[in-house]
Structure 1
Amino acid sequence: MNESTTLGRPASGSGGVSYQDVSAGYFEQRTLQRHAGFFTLLVLGVGAVIAGQYSGWNLGLAQGFGSMLAATVIIAFMYLLLCSSIGEMSAALPHTGGAYSFARTTLGPWGGFSTGLAENIEFILAPAGNMFFMGTYLSAIFGTAPEWQPLWWLVGYACMLLLSVRGLGVSMRVVVVITLAAIGVLVFFFATAIPHVDFAAKALNLAAGDAGTPVEVAGGNGPWLPFGLTGIMLALPFGVYMFLAIEQLPLTAEESHDPSRHVPRALVFGILILTVLALGVLFFSASIGGGAFAMSSSGEPLLDGFREIFGHTASKVLSAVAVLGLAASFLAGSFAAGRNIYSLSRAGYLPTALSVTHPVNKTPNVALLTGSLLALSILLVFWFSFGRENNALMGGIMVSMIVFAGMISYILQSIAFIRLRRLHPDLPRPYRSPYGVFGALVVIGISAITLIYQFLDPLYKWAALGAAAWYLIGMAYFAFYRRHRLVLSPEEAFAVSGGREGHPR
């Protein structure tokens, strides 16, 4: 569709934005199909996250096992509260816009876009990070030279886009199958690691050196918290990576059979499953092999664990299966990025051409392609700038940028939850958060602390600053250009009319 349209006058109290008139067939070109029930949503939620339990999280072990354990428990509690709040909002507002639509209803167009933009950064970078770690695993499994790792990324993104052409129904089924396999691999790892566990000698083999850097303690029995309370705070972002992205489930609202009932339940049950897996991954990975010290710099911690248990040859076969976990999160995250771009584009916050869906399969292929090209470009820039020389640094930087965007999104979504209860108390809520406003305030507090300590981390603070610069550029784009080219999508119509129009059915 040609985006050249007549601009309308700003609506009263609309935050200084203008809406453009669109053709009669605008929304017909931007429809999705419903595929998912509760079980599919539950597995999709776990699949979106599970790659974070294969790689990336282990960098937090540089602060010590006790620090990472405390950070994991704190973050798991935060996600339980967050998912309960998001579950209530998704039940009341089952739009495909997810976080953007929640904030648009309660915080106006500026709040809506700022929340949607934070999720956009997170959901573009998260699958890119998963693909980076998957490339590291595949290089180790097949023995390819490190400098050829970008070829794995190209193959991965090409396979994802080819799969999306078949339709999101097929894509969802593929993600469900490989996610179940990925969970099975983790459970198998836990069971086979038990005879090899030596907790005191392995998990506690790290201490703080004279220069303030981690050093290995021969024989173990080192301190639980080698860097004290600061170590826990610096480990929080890596705890986040073990749960991050489950909040993407509301983006599937217009593809779910009963989003008001199924999305909240999938969020809460999903976070409980992920908590059990995260604690198992942390304990068993740190308690075998080279222990916490070796795992803190590993690019493929699960593969290293299998090597310790089965040796190099057998471990390659098992780790080839383990790559499915990374693939599950990569696919789920890429589709989430596409839905995020689709919803922001449909409402005019991004160029409207990005939200046109496939005429037959009704998949947001243009949005998926755009998000994939941007993610792949970022990977290549990072790789040729510094990643070739330091894989661990590149992985840590990507995790830090993803977590920065996630924390901004969580804070804004929690504020939106509080305001939705105040502004729309009578809106039907098939699910209500048992933690209420208090739970949302706790999420805001933990997210804010995580953000602050990201900027205090001497190694990764530049990653947070880079993500912040991206965020500010996006806000400037909206302020000076896109805010005068919005479209009355269902989310916008609902917000502008005070809930009288555009209610999701």
Structure 2
Amino acid sequence: MQTNSAQPGLKRMLGSFHLWGIAVGLVISGEYFGWSYGWAQSGTLGFLITSLAIAAMYCAFIFSFTELTTSIPHAGGPFAYAYRAFGPTGGFIAGFATLIEFVFAPPAISMAIGAYLNVQFPSLDPKWVAVSAYLVFMGLNILGVGIAATFELLVTLLAIFELLVFMGVVAPGFEWANFARGGWAGMDSFSPVALSGIFAAIPFAIWFFLAIEGAAMAAEEAKDPKRTIPRAFIGGILTLSLLAMGVMLFAGGVGDWTQLSNINDPLPQAMKMIVGSNSGWLHMLVWLGLFGLVASFHGIIMGYSRQIFALGRAGYLPASLARVHPRFRTPHRAILAGGVVGIAAIFSDSFVTIGGLPLTANIVTMSVFGAIVMYITSMAALFKLRRSEPALSRPFRAPWFPFAPAFALVMAVICLVAMVYYNTLLALIFAAMMLLGYGWFRATRSARESAVFDPQLTASK
């Protein structure tokens, strides 16, 4: 690799609170929509079991992942860790899996934004609302990381407030009998079908937490990342775990949960069961609920752009995608490139269904496939680097090593096997995308050899 000092780098502006806002904001839309598709697979009780197991996996994963993030603070995040542990091929697997996760998640969120606004304004076309969201928030991300992160923190705080309001308003109508009725895959008692549903619901439980790891991609823009990132990650996963369990329990206990299991706006519809269609509480939920979707949408645009930027800088994608705006110091071409893919997915919604599920559910699952592969490679990289680089500076060391990362790794493998079994066609599509990416990887070796020298990737080589 050759050194190129003419290209400006990313700007360090983010403290612990900003990073916590990014970590929570990336994920918080998962509390507003997407997860309720899991009820259609496993019922409320089955999905509760799935969600608790996935929450445990994420807690173990984040405590372990933080060691990698603080040891190798790099905009590529998982790509950088796998490259350093396993070389260029490992970097490819983690980098492209992360890219699939972060590029496929925003279209689902933008369509949910359209669905929420359609509740308030039925004449609005949700697709055009989704496209407008892309244009607005790509522009905001291009303007600068300081502006983008401050906005992300603000909307994240508002989204958390709104989730607490939702739980408070529906709490008087909560009945455990409602939540438990037919709660084993739609049946009143546990059975082999219910067990099958518990595994089938895994992608939608992961959606509660998907993309929290994206805060790692802000490492090159963080002040003192070795201190600020652990605070952000640990505070973030605890915040999200409490919110996810609260929202799921209260939404499922207010009435007939089957009415909420295949829609993009379960919280407004759950609140309707308590306060009616004309209540001011409902209108407030729709308006403020948008902040949760916007926080994740905006944050994941930040995440995918940094992943595209890092892959372009390392020669895994065209070098032009690693250009940084000379004035705003943001990866503007990477931001726009991810947006093109997302907008194309939005307009595929009308005529694409897979396995009888709507496009949103399939996009969620595809994004989760990318995430799970990345989790596996990240935990494997942690074990490898502990052996190959014992002297590597580790400002934060994974607690309960090796048990916590081993638990996260085993759980991720179980999730991947279950997802392949229950989503065979999507698994084949995901595999085809990875193979196409690998073909590009093999064909562009010269681009990687002439890419900008990056000591974070090559220190161990």
Q: CA deviation at 1:482?
A: 4.4
Counterpart in the other structure of 1:282: 248
Whether the 8 Å contact between 1:51 and 1:328 is mirrored in structure 2 is: yes
1:70 partner SS:
helix
Q: Pick from 199, 202, 208: which aligns with 1:242?
A: 208
Whether the 8 Å contact between 2:74 and 2:456 is mirrored in structure 1 is: no
Counterpart in the other structure of 1:332: 299
Whether the 8 Å contact between 2:72 and 2:456 is mirrored in structure 1 is: no
Counterpart in the other structure of 2:179: 203
Q: Pick from 163, 166, 171: which aligns with 1:189?
A: 166
Residue 128 (structure 1) aligned with residue 107 (structure 2): yes
Residue 423 (structure 1) aligned with residue 400 (structure 2): no
Number of equivalenced pairs? 458
Counterpart in the other structure of 1:359: 326
Matches within 5 A, 1:302-341: 302-313=267-278, 314=280, 315-341=282-308
Range with greater deviation from structure 2 (104-113 or 301-310): 301-310
Q: CA RMSD in A?
A: 2.0
Q: Pick from 378, 394, 402: which aligns with 2:359?
A: 394
Q: Pick from 476, 480, 483: which aligns with 2:439?
A: 476
Range with greater deviation from structure 2 (438-447 or 350-359): 438-447
Distance in 2 between residues matched to 1:85 and 1:403, nearest whole Å:
19
Q: CA deviation at 1:462?
A: 2.3
Q: CA deviation at 1:229?
A: 2.4
The structure-2 alpha-carbon separation of the partners of 1:187 and 1:317, relative to structure 1 and needing over 3 Å to count, comes to: closer
Q: CA deviation at 1:424?
A: 1.1
Q: CA deviation at 1:33?
A: 0.8
Q: CA deviation at 1:376?
A: 1.4
Counterpart in the other structure of 1:5: none
Matches within 5 A, 1:451-470: 451-457=416-422, 460-470=423-433
Amino acid at match of 2:260: M
Residue 107 (structure 1) aligned with residue 74 (structure 2): no
Residue 170 (structure 1) aligned with residue 147 (structure 2): yes
The structure-2 alpha-carbon separation of the partners of 1:441 and 1:150, relative to structure 1 and needing over 3 Å to count, comes to: same
Whether the 8 Å contact between 1:88 and 1:432 is mirrored in structure 2 is: yes
The structure-2 alpha-carbon separation of the partners of 1:484 and 1:351, relative to structure 1 and needing over 3 Å to count, comes to: closer
Whether the 8 Å contact between 1:64 and 1:225 is mirrored in structure 2 is: no
Whether the 8 Å contact between 2:24 and 2:156 is mirrored in structure 1 is: yes
Q: CA deviation at 1:141?
A: 2.1
List gaps (5 residues or longer) in structure 2: none
Whether the 8 Å contact between 2:84 and 2:459 is mirrored in structure 1 is: no
Residue 58 (structure 1) aligned with residue 23 (structure 2): no
Whether the 8 Å contact between 2:34 and 2:361 is mirrored in structure 1 is: yes
Range with greater deviation from structure 2 (223-232 or 396-405): 223-232
The structure-2 alpha-carbon separation of the partners of 1:307 and 1:443, relative to structure 1 and needing over 3 Å to count, comes to: same
TM-score normalised by L of structure 2: 0.94
Distance in 1 between residues matched to 2:109 and 2:208, nearest whole Å:
12
Q: CA offsets per residue over residues 343-382 of structure 1, 9 Å max, x none?
A: 1111111111111111011011110000111121122224
Whether the 8 Å contact between 1:167 and 1:361 is mirrored in structure 2 is: yes
Whether the 8 Å contact between 1:306 and 1:319 is mirrored in structure 2 is: no
1:139 partner SS:
helix
Range with greater deviation from structure 2 (26-35 or 120-129): 26-35
Distance in 2 between residues matched to 1:49 and 1:486, nearest whole Å:
36
Distance in 2 between residues matched to 1:282 and 1:359, nearest whole Å:
45
Q: CA deviation at 1:276?
A: 0.3
1:31 partner SS:
coil
Whether the 8 Å contact between 1:67 and 1:225 is mirrored in structure 2 is: no
Q: CA offsets per residue over residues 162-214 of structure 1, 9 Å max, x none?
A: 212321110111111011000000011111111101121x2123367xxxxx5
Amino acid at match of 2:127: P
Q: CA deviation at 1:67?
A: 1.2
2:394 partner SS:
coil
Q: CA deviation at 1:464?
A: 2.8
Whether the 8 Å contact between 1:135 and 1:152 is mirrored in structure 2 is: yes
Whether the 8 Å contact between 2:352 and 2:358 is mirrored in structure 1 is: no
Counterpart in the other structure of 1:496: 458
The structure-2 alpha-carbon separation of the partners of 1:176 and 1:497, relative to structure 1 and needing over 3 Å to count, comes to: closer
The structure-2 alpha-carbon separation of the partners of 1:466 and 1:30, relative to structure 1 and needing over 3 Å to count, comes to: farther
Amino acid at match of 1:149: P
Amino acid at match of 2:436: I
Counterpart in the other structure of 1:74: 53
Counterpart in the other structure of 2:236: 270
Q: CA deviation at 1:490?
A: 5.3
1:368 partner SS:
helix
2:358 partner SS:
helix
Range with greater deviation from structure 2 (374-383 or 152-161): 374-383
Q: CA deviation at 1:30?
A: 3.9
Distance in 2 between residues matched to 1:393 and 1:162, nearest whole Å:
29
Q: Pick from 402, 405, 411: which aligns with 2:376?
A: 411
Counterpart in the other structure of 1:345: 312
Q: CA deviation at 1:497?
A: 4.2
Whether the 8 Å contact between 2:100 and 2:367 is mirrored in structure 1 is: yes
Counterpart in the other structure of 1:3: none
Distance in 1 between residues matched to 2:446 and 2:158, nearest whole Å:
44
The structure-2 alpha-carbon separation of the partners of 1:378 and 1:487, relative to structure 1 and needing over 3 Å to count, comes to: farther
Distance in 2 between residues matched to 1:329 and 1:162, nearest whole Å:
16
1:312 partner SS:
coil
Amino acid at match of 1:103: A
Amino acid at match of 1:330: F
TM-score normalised by L of structure 1: 0.86
Counterpart in the other structure of 1:40: 18
Amino acid at match of 2:318: P
Q: CA deviation at 1:223?
A: 3.0
Distance in 2 between residues matched to 1:268 and 1:422, nearest whole Å:
25
Whether the 8 Å contact between 1:121 and 1:402 is mirrored in structure 2 is: yes
Residue 449 (structure 1) aligned with residue 414 (structure 2): yes
Q: CA deviation at 1:274?
A: 0.5
List gaps (5 residues or longer) in structure 1: 1-18, 209-213, 500-505
